[in-house]
Amino acid sequence: DAKTTQPPSMDCAEGRAANLPCNHSTISGNEYVYWYRQIHSQGPQYIIHGLKNNETNEMASLIITEDRKSSTLILPHATLRDTAVYYCIVLTPYNTDKLIFGTGTRLQVFP
Amino acid sequence: NAGVMQNPRHLVRRRGQEARLRCSPMKGHSHVYWYRQLPEEGLKFMVYLQKENIIDESGMPKERFSAEFPKEGPSILRIQQVVRGDSAAYFCASSPRAGSAGELFFGEGSRLTVL
């Protein structure tokens, strides 16, 4: 699985958009980008995933660059409850059973 | 539909004792995964099980750790002769099928403290 690089921490004002970047420059053509988050003292929670097209669901949007070497998770209107560690994970479709969590980005949403 | 249930939520053991952590997957899920999170670190995969079968145990320490998922009942992660380095949060996840990271649901974790 490709390695990902994320900034260790970010701040965001409540109500503003939170844009969390992820670099995955060694991603292969059949590897997906998954995002999970872990709110303090809770288990990780799936957010969204994509291959090469931009994706949107009720939680977030995922923007993947054309060369697929980086992506951005967008929380359009961050709330205090979005304060968490966000993990960007790259997986092949044949090996999605063993997630490799890096250190992630600690997002702090402030009032 | 209840989520993934783990118990106990907190467990304290003295060095040398045994720890048993239980995980009941979501209804309809037959795939269970265990992860360990050491303080201030990311989660590390330990083992993947289906009913009565261990599919991938590449992340399990070679000694003292074992896992099972019997035909009936919860999955159990067993740690024998615990040491202080086993102190961590142990998370269980379940999914309805293999290869479905987008349908992976985690429990709230079991926090083991070894004195």
Residue partners of B56: CB distance under 8 A and separation at least 6: A97, A98, B47, B48
Model pLDDT, residue B1: 52
Name the E strands within chain A: 9-13, 18-23, 32-38, 45-50, 55-56, 61-64, 70-75, 84-91, 105-110
Model pLDDT, residue A29: 86
Does A16 have pLDDT greater than 60?
A: yes
CA distance, residue A77 to nearest chain B CA (Å): 23
More confident residue, A99 or B80: B80
Model pLDDT, residue B21: 98
Confirm if A101 and A3 have CB atoms less than 8 A apart.
no
State pLDDT tens for residues A22-75. 999 999 888 899 999 999 889 999 999 999 989 999 999 999 999 999 999 999
Model pLDDT, residue A2: 57
Residue A44 forms contact with B (CB below 8 Å):
yes
Residue in B36, B50, B100, B106 to test binding to A, most A beta-carbons within 10 Å: B106
Spatial strand order in the sheet of B5-7: B5-7, B19-24, B75-79, B65-68
Q: Per DSSP, what are the bridge partners of residue A70?
A: A23
Q: Which of A45, A96, A101 sits opposite B99 (nearest CB)?
A: A96
Across chain B, mean pLDDT equals 93
Q: Region B78-105: what's the mean pLDDT? A: 90
Model pLDDT, residue A95: 66
Enter the DSSP assignment of B81.
S
Model pLDDT, residue B40: 81
Q: Percent of chain B having pLDDT more than 90?
A: 79
State pLDDT tens for residues B9-49. 999 999 999 999 999 999 989 999 999 999 888 899 999 99
Q: Region B53-76: what's the mean pLDDT? A: 94
Model pLDDT, residue B94: 93
Q: Which of B41, B58, B102 sits opposite A49 (nearest CB)?
A: B102
Model pLDDT, residue B60: 95
Does A100 sit within 8 Å of B45, measured CB to CB?
yes
Q: Region A107-111: what's the mean pLDDT? A: 97
Model pLDDT, residue B104: 86
